[in-house]
Amino acid sequence: MTNPATTSAAATSLMKPMLLWLTIQLVALAIGAAGLQLSNRRQTPPEFLAIDVLLVTQIATAALLWPMLMADWRSAVAVILSSLPFMQAAGFVSATPTSDFWPAATLTILWLTTLAVLPKPKSSPTFMSALRMAVALWSIGGALATYLHAEFSADDSTNLIGPISQVLGRLHGQTNSMHWIAVAIVLFVAIIIRVINRSVASKNKVK
């Protein structure tokens, strides 16, 4: 028989991260749908960038807050599933072609899944700090590195580093199979890290 106190505690722990996640997405969608001019360099109508704003917000927010947003499997499933309606709404507002929208949305979902797989704060503080830094560097730092390369490098090759750059690249028609391979590799590494972390935790309990 289910303990009412346990059920209530689980619902409370799920409500706080979900409220934060939904609020952040709602703000991002509102900014995109309102057509706020975020850059003077682009000729694209501002409202057409709604999907760009939302996906970048989802990826960056999840990268920074994943231990809280995805503290357990219930939270992870709720976060991932609740992101889909916002993606669809932003895609509709921005009139994004289906052939570009769904691959970009799938890459975003795979990134969220990767974060859900990673071990959570029960691990050692040092390990968690290093892991959080690695996640932030790969996602947000990767986007910054991609931008700096595009702006200041004499090399014309397109190097999309991290999920933000890869998702935006696919959203705007760059069909490079290496993006999918990179996402698959990162997800595989996350699975390996989780397995190793659980193995170490089990050995420590035995001791």
SS (H, E, C) 50-113: HHHHHHHHHHHHHHHHHHHHCCCHHHHHHHHHHHHHHHHHHHHHCCCCHHHHHHHHHHHHHHHH
Q: How far apart are CA 168 and CA 158, in angstroms?
A: 13
Would you state the pLDDT for residue 34? Answer: 79
Residue length of the chain? 207
This prediction has a pTM of: 0.84
Would you state the pLDDT for residue 128? Answer: 86
Per-block average pLDDT, block size 10, for the chain (207 residues)? 49 79 94 67 62 94 92 91 94 90 94 92 79 92 85 66 91 82 92 87 68
Would you state the pLDDT for residue 5? Answer: 44
Read off the DSSP letter of residue 161.
Answer: -
Place of tokens 């409370």: 12
Q: How far apart are CA 167 and CA 51, in angstroms?
A: 11
